[in-house]
Structure 1
């Protein structure tokens, strides 16, 4: 193609192009408005709304509703990242214990007391403590290392006693341990050392090892203690009626519950 032909084509192309497409010093009004609209939309998309006041002021606060768990009040406020944790020995229920719990909860108590049975029986080996989520793996590993040398043993149950929690918000009726006390003390000492590594509180001094079978709201120690002579008399009758297997257990494992997780530690 000759130079003249190329110039003619170029002149024809420029003559047929619209204002929007031609490279000119003049700006298209239509394009200007469209660009402004697009910029406004882009700004709206990237602009973040401010967080609501309740999130700014209370980012982790959860309101507890006692009606959801039989009126019980949390010992610790619920906070994200904090896991309620304790170690214990599980105790499987049996016919004799079921009969005892039925007798205890049907006993004539004052009208302001409502006794309720426990569904999952256990013997506590630690206080209920708060464990940070990022500590869990390390804490469980520490327990596993320290509990690995313990051997299985037997605990036997004896008579009923009355207990309260630290906050005096609940009162319990429990079966006290008769044999296996020394082995339990050694376990507690071991667990106390593990808790100490994480700056967590140790178990109670001179503990009274027991398995709680019934509870009620409030501090009703005196009222329930007045019933103990009658309840322990009924317990003696049950112990003679039901075989000895109903009143003792082999301790073969320790459990640790943290939040909704349960870890098992088998004894030798």
Structure 2
């Protein structure tokens, strides 16, 4: 698509012209000559826009600023760079009444800590890694091939546990799994092979599979751990009050989020 300033054509609506110069009814096009000294008579009336400062500067690089206030105090674990896509693979979980009630209980028990609800419930199967844009399709195809031989399975949740990220900038409360560990481990082993093809880091050794349901900014691991006995008693009461469907996942597919794109991979 060309900008107006790039066209060496004058469009004159309603004027007379020959068929050769007129590409359509009602529009007359007069070609401008490029002969030296010949100028369009109205060119002096056209005011050129100033060149943006970014093109006048000697320094062509720009540094992105990450403001934690724009996303609930979260800090990036690595800087954003053009062409790099933050990516991870996970098992999704749909929000339900039992989980929401459990989060309300957690907030009441942790009134001294600013507990926030997790945006999207899921079980991670890879770390958040960085993909180059031209790797995305190849990475997705590699996952799809390896997932085609893994069977669907069930995950049951059991108890609550506290986690802190590697940078100690956020603390999480997650639901640990009771069944499905071996199947999850098989998924991770297959995904690690996909990651190795791109020289990307594997998942954690001896992973503690869980689904984060609440979090807070900062390192509150010890404070929240001290509340676990009370929170787990409340959890088991809720498990009795709400149907079993609130506390399990039937894993039929995985999702991969890379930047603003999503890929779905079905199990057999």
Within a 5 Å distance, the mapping from 1:1-268 to structure 2 comes to 35=37, 52=54, 56-57=58-59, 59-110=61-112, 113-268=113-268
Q: CA deviation at 1:119?
A: 2.8
Q: Compute the RMSD of aligned alpha carbons.
A: 2.5
**Partners of 2:133 and 2:241 in 1: CA distance:** 48
Q: CA deviation at 1:37?
A: 9.6
**Partners of 1:203 and 1:55 in 2: CA distance:** 43
Q: Which runs of 4+ in 1 moved over 4 A?
A: 34-38, 48-51, 53-56
Contact 1:85 1:128 in 2 (8 A): yes
Q: Secondary structure of 1:75's match? A: coil
Change in CA separation of 1:49 and 1:248 when aligned onto 2, cut-off 3 Å: closer
Higher-Rg member (1/2):
1
Q: CA deviation at 1:94?
A: 1.3
Q: Structure 2, unaligned stretches of length 5 or more?
A: 1-35, 44-49
Please report the TM-score for the alignment, with normalisation by the length of structure 2: 0.79
Q: CA deviation at 1:118?
A: 1.1
Q: CA deviation at 1:168?
A: 0.8
Please report the TM-score for the alignment, with normalisation by the length of structure 1: 0.79
Higher helix fraction (1 or 2): 1
Change in CA separation of 1:59 and 1:246 when aligned onto 2, cut-off 3 Å: same
Contact 1:89 1:254 in 2 (8 A): yes
Q: CA deviation at 1:59?
A: 2.2
Change in CA separation of 1:64 and 1:108 when aligned onto 2, cut-off 3 Å: closer
Report Cα offsets for 1:183-223 as digits up to 9, x if no partner.
00000000001000000000000100000000000111001
Q: Structure 1, unaligned stretches of length 5 or more?
A: 1-33, 42-47
Contact 2:148 2:266 in 1 (8 A): yes
